[in-house]
């Protein structure tokens, strides 16, 4: 707003400055006149700068994909809005140069266009102030229209304390005829922006019993998720794809619709329902994206039966490639890293890590395993059972004994729920603890993760996006007494049952994926390669 000093239309300015100096409020007409003058000045300035700025205008947009803002939650909602506006404007800016005559002769420009232009100028000013780091940045030839979706809004499931968002979600669910699951119990203030559900209040309470709105296999799947019968990233994805196969089998195209569009619309309420039962995992999200893409790629002249069999084989192939074969590839790489006499530490029950250890044992590597477990899930017992059943000699400790046991350990193998775009590992709560302590003891930490679990989210702490499990799980009954039975009556007590945490890449030495063994910081490269492939 440094334009106030410039000379402009005669006469009126004196009045305005006089009234400003006198401290009076500008009258309406005076304000309008001020605004018009500023617009004219800006237009002249823009015409001068736009030739030199056309190149720079592209860069502010490419610099804009902001890492998911961590500390402030309100600021990002303001960012996406102005960021999306300047994108169409720079494209149109070169066109404005041709009608060279003074814009002062065109008072009839719409307010929206003027606003957009103003914002564009703000962005260019901001970009001009930044050091010339733009050219070294990503110089991919991404067309302007695709830059829009890079800037995303915060998802609804991390904005539970915002009543407007909650209302929007309720409306959306009502439209899809899916019941809304209500939160349960007192939420710790740091995590009050997340949902917290009770396992004793399943979503099926509010559904009709022969479920007609939602396909029965999806209802069954939702129940299995919320009760924890299907748990673990891989298991959940496979179960999801299995349920989708049944949905596709039972699907018939309504008379005036196309399969490619209608089936995607049919899947949306099911996905909302599953989200209500338990928040979707990153692997499930990627699987859903893949299926939606496959469905929308079906040519319209394809007959229904053909299309269905095509989709079913696609799903089978996805599972085969991304889960089964990936596990085999990862085992192959990981076995190279296991030598005789190793003492391997694992945490919780990761299906991939168990797979690796079992295969290594079959290839006659001599090692022993230390299984670390933590409450309230106590998943390590299941891992222990599976390993001991194969004949591997195991030790079992709780996570509180970690620093006592680490001097014996030669390697740490961890599983992952998802690998984030900035190299952070999202895994069961407690994993970052293990990685941290292992780092202090100089024990190598290897994370095993299939590429279909890589997601484009960026997170640097475990607060912003997490999952809160049922707080009643923390209650334990010993000798007939449950101390925390009436925890809800104590007003100053809150129970927190976190599910995930993020581990920084400094603590992870190697990530073993089906593409090979990569350092943690190469995850964005893999993501980029994947995106280009698709």
Partner 1 sequence: MELQAVLMAAGGGSRMMDLTYNTRKPLLPVGNKPLIWYPLNLLERVGFEEVIVITTKEVQKMISTDPKMKLDVKMKLDIVCIQEDADMGTADALRHIQQKIKTDILVVSCDLITDAALHEVVDLFRAHNATLSMLMSKAHEFTETVPGQKGKKKTGEQRDFVGVDGTGKRLLFMANEADLDKGLVIRKSIMRKLPRMHIKTGLVDAHLYCLKKSVVDFLADNKSVSSIRGELVPYLVRKQFSKSMTSPNVNDEADQKLKKKDGNANLEIQILSRDEVLLQLTRERSCWNDHRGDMSEAYHGVRLRCYVHIMDEGMCYRVNTLAAYIEANRLAPKLFDEPAVHPSAAISVRCLIGADSIIGASCQISDKASIKRSMIGASTTVREKVKVTNSIIMHGVTIEEGCNIQGSVICSNTVIGRGADIKYCLVGSAQRIEPEAERTNEVIVGTDQLMEI
What are the tokens at 78? 């303001």
If you ran DSSP here, which 8-state letter would residue 91 be given?
Answer: H
Smallest separation, CB 286 to partner 1 (Å): 16
486 burial type by CB count under 10 A (0-12 exposed, 13-18 middle, 19+ buried) = exposed
- CB nearer to partner 1: pick between 75 and 229: 229
Residue 116 CB, shortest distance to partner 1, in Å, is 51
Residue 4, by phi and psi: left (phi above 0), alpha (psi -120 to 50) or beta? alpha
What are 112's two structure tokens?
A: 């929206």
Minimum distance, C-beta of residue 372 to partner 1, in the bound complex (Å): 14
Distance CA(162)–CA(495), nearest Å, equals 22
Write down the least CB distance from residue 212 to partner 1, Å.
8
Dihedral angle over CA of 378, 384, 386, 391, nearest 10: -170
Query: Which residue number, 188 or 358, has a Cβ lying nearer to partner 1?
Result: 358
Q: Which two tokens stand for residue 260?
A: 């490619």
CB 83 within 8 A of CB 149: no
Residue ranges that bind partner 1, judged by CB under 8 A: 202, 204-205, 207-212, 216, 219-220, 223-224, 227-232, 234-235, 238-239, 241-242, 245-246, 319, 323-324, 348-349, 351, 379, 381-383, 385, 388-389
Asked whether the beta carbons of 51 and 97 are under 8 A apart, the reply is yes
In degrees and rounded to multiples of 5, residue 339 shows phi and psi of -115, 165
Residue with Cβ nearer partner 1 (197 or 507): 197
How many residues are there in the chain? 534
Specify whether the CB–CB gap between 361 and 385 falls below 8 A: no
Cβ proximity to partner 1, 159 vs 354, nearer residue: 354
Closest to partner 1 by CB, 40 or 286: 286
Q: How far is the CB of 190 from partner 1 (least distance, A)?
A: 28
Whichever of 168 and 199 has its CB closer to partner 1, that residue is 199
In the complex, minimum distance from the CB of residue 523 to partner 1, in angstroms, rounded to a whole number: 23
User: Which is nearer to partner 1, 33 or 236 (by Cβ)?
Assistant: 236
**Nearest CA among 300, 303, 275 for reference residue 288:** 275
By beta-carbon proximity to partner 1, the closer residue of 71 and 209 is 209
The phi, psi pair for 242, rounded to 5°, reads -60, -45
Query: Helices 233-249 and 351-362 sit at what angle, rounded to 10 degrees?
Result: 110
CA 530 to CA 166: how far, in whole Å?
A: 34
Owner of token pair 């709780």: 398
| 225 contacts 193 by C-beta, under 8 angstroms | no
Q: What is the CA radius of gyration of the chain?
A: 29
Least Cα distance to 149 among 244, 268, 283, 289 occurs for 289
Q: How far is CA 7 from the centre of its chain?
A: 51
Query: Could you tell me the smallest distance in angstroms from the CB atom of residue 455 to partner 1?
Result: 19
Sign of CA dihedral 422, 427, 431, 433: positive
Q: Pick the closer one to partner 1 by CB: 166 or 213.
A: 213
User: Among 369, 447, 446, 434, which residue's Cα sits nearest to residue 403?
Assistant: 434
Q: Decide: helix, strand or coil at residue 361.
A: helix
Phi, psi (rounded to 5 degrees) for 258: -105, 140
Which of the 8 DSSP states describes residue 188? P
Residue 356 vs residues 242, 334, 360, 434: alpha-carbon distances, Å: 24, 7, 6, 19
Q: Which is nearer to partner 1, 193 or 245 (CB)?
A: 245
User: Which C-beta is closer to partner 1: that of 61 or that of 230?
Assistant: 230
Minimum CB separation from partner 1 for residue 416, in Å? 14
- CB 184 to partner 1: min, Å: 18
Question: In terms of CB distance, is 383 or 458 closer to partner 1?
Answer: 383
Shortest Å distance, C-beta 329 to partner 1? 16
Q: Which helix (H) or strand (E) holds 461?
A: none
Q: Looking at beta carbons only, is 158 or 323 nearer to partner 1?
A: 323
Residue 226 Cβ, how far from partner 1 at the closest point, in Å? Answer: 9
Closest CB 470 distance from partner 1, rounded Å: 15
Q: Rounded to an integer, what distance in angstroms lies between the CA atom of residue 186 and that of residue 179? A: 22
CB of 465 to partner 1, least distance (A): 22
């Amino acid at each position: 707003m440094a334009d106030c000093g410039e000379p402009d239309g005669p006469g009126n300015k004196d009045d305005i400055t006089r009234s400003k100096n006198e401290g009076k409020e500008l009258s309406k007409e005076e304000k309008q006149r001020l605004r018009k003058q500023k617009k004219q000045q800006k237009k002249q300035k823009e015409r001068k700068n736009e030739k030199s700025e056309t190149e720079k205008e592209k860069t502010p947009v490419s610099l804009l994909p902001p890492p998911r803002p961590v500390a402030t939650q309100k600021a990002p909602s303001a960012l996406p809005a102005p960021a999306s506006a300047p994108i169409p404007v720079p494209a149109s800016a070169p066109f404005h140069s041709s009608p060279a005559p003074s814009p002062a002769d065109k008072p009839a420009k719409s307010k929206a266009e003027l606003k957009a232009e103003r914002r564009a100028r703000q962005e260019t000013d901001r970009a001009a102030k930044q050091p010339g780091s733009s050219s070294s940045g990503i110089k991919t030839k991404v067309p302007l229209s695709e830059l829009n979706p890079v800037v995303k809004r915060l998802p609804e499931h991390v904005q539970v304390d915002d009543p407007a968002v909650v209302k929007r979600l309720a409306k959306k669910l009502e439209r899809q005829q899916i019941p809304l699951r209500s939160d349960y119990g007192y939420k710790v203030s740091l995590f009050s922006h997340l949902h917290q559900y009770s396992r004793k209040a399943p979503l099926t309470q509010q559904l009709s019993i022969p479920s007609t709105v939602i396909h029965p296999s999806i209802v069954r799947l939702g129940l299995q998720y919320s009760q924890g019968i299907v748990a673990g990233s891989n298991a959940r994805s496979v179960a999801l794809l299995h349920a989708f196969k049944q949905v596709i089998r039972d699907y018939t195209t309504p008379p005036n619709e196309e399969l490619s569009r209608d089936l995607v619309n049919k899947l949306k309420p099911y996905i909302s329902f599953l989200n209500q039962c338990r928040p979707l995992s990153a692997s499930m999200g990627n699987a859903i994206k893949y299926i939606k893409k496959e469905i929308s790629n079906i040519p319209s002249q394809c007959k229904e039966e053909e299309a269905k069999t095509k989709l079913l084989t696609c799903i089978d192939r996805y599972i085969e490639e991304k889960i089964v074969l990936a596990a085999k590839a990862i085992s192959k790489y990981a076995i190279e890293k296991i030598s005789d006499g190793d003492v391997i530490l694992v945490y919780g029950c990761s299906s991939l890590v168990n797979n690796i250890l079992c295969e290594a044992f079959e290839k006659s590597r001599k090692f022993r395993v230390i299984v670390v477990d933590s409450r309230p899930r106590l998943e390590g017992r299941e891992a222990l059972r599976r390993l001991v059943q194969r004949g591997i000699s195991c030790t079992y400790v709780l996570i509180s004994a970690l620093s006592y046991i680490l001097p014996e350990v030669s390697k740490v193998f961890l599983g992952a729920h998802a690998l984030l775009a900035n190299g952070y590992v999202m895994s069961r709560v407690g994993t970052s603890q293990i990685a941290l302590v292992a780092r202090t003891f100089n024990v190598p930490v290897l994370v095993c993760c299939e590429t279909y679990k890589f997601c484009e989210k960026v997170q640097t702490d475990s607060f912003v996006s997490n999952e809160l499990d049922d707080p009643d799980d923390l209650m334990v009954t010993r000798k007939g007494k449950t101390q925390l039975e009436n925890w809800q009556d104590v007003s100053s007590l809150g129970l927190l049952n976190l599910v995930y945490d993020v581990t920084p890449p400094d603590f992870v030495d190697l990530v073993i994926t089906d593409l090979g063994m990569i350092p943690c910081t190469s995850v964005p490269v893999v993501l980029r390669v994947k995106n280009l492939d698709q």
